[in-house]
A = this chain, B = another copy of it.
Amino acid sequence: MKLYNYFRSSASFRVRIALNFKGLPYEYAVVHLTKGGGQQFAPEFRAINPDALIPVLDDAGQRLTQSLAIIEYLEETHPEPPLLPTAPLERAYVRAIALGIACEIHPLNNLRVLRYLVRDLKATDEQKNAWYRHWVEQGLASIEARLVAEGKCGRYALGDRVTLADVVIVPQIFNAKRFDCRLDHVPTVMRIFDHCMELPAFVDAQPACQPDAE
């Protein structure tokens, strides 16, 4: 398998964790999101993904997009060790945590949105950073509230086994730290983060350990 990705992209980071967790080796193909106006917009990459979005997983010539769809695919084709529990209610809980980050926090803070704020809405740097922190801090507070309300946490978001929820939480916390977001209001999320960061699958997938890290 070959993963088109970028060290700092948190959607890429999710897929790297899943591949590591399942023990699946992959070739690392760099798509630099800022160099030369963004390699994702180059014709060569558009031929691979017309969306100009990463990550893309190439599995024997089949190209898959959208990090959560890729991870569900890996789960279906390489079920062991699992990233989803077996009971439908627990699967729904895990997916809701993952989507609560992937749909409610991450999309508001990616590069093209921040660029639109600055270029089209003339946001100042201060306003841009306030926007970033607002959605991260509010979004993580929602995740914290859900984790506490459901009462299903152990070392990880669902008991003591790593799931898709953890795979999505960890990259979001890396982003939050990079932008100096408040994190003292989400102790459950941070406890899960700390536990995950004891595991090689997560440690090895982090931005600083990638070949394109700056």
- Expressed in whole angstroms, the minimum distance between the Cβ of A48 and any Cβ of chain B is 10
A residues neighboring B (CB under 8 Å): 50-53, 62, 64-66, 68-70, 72-73, 76-77, 88-89, 91-93, 95-96, 98-100, 102-104, 106-108, 113, 116-117, 120-121, 123, 127, 130-131, 134, 142, 145-146, 149
Identify A51's interface contact among B120, B121, B127, B145, CB under 8 A. B145
Give chain A's interface secondary structure class. helix
* A149: B residues at CB distance < 8 A: 50
Q: CA of A92 to CA of B65 in the docked complex: distance in angstroms?
A: 8
How many copies of this chain sit in the oligomeric assembly? 2
Q: Which 4 A-B pairs have the closest CB atoms?
A: A50-B145, A69-B95, A107-B107, A73-B92
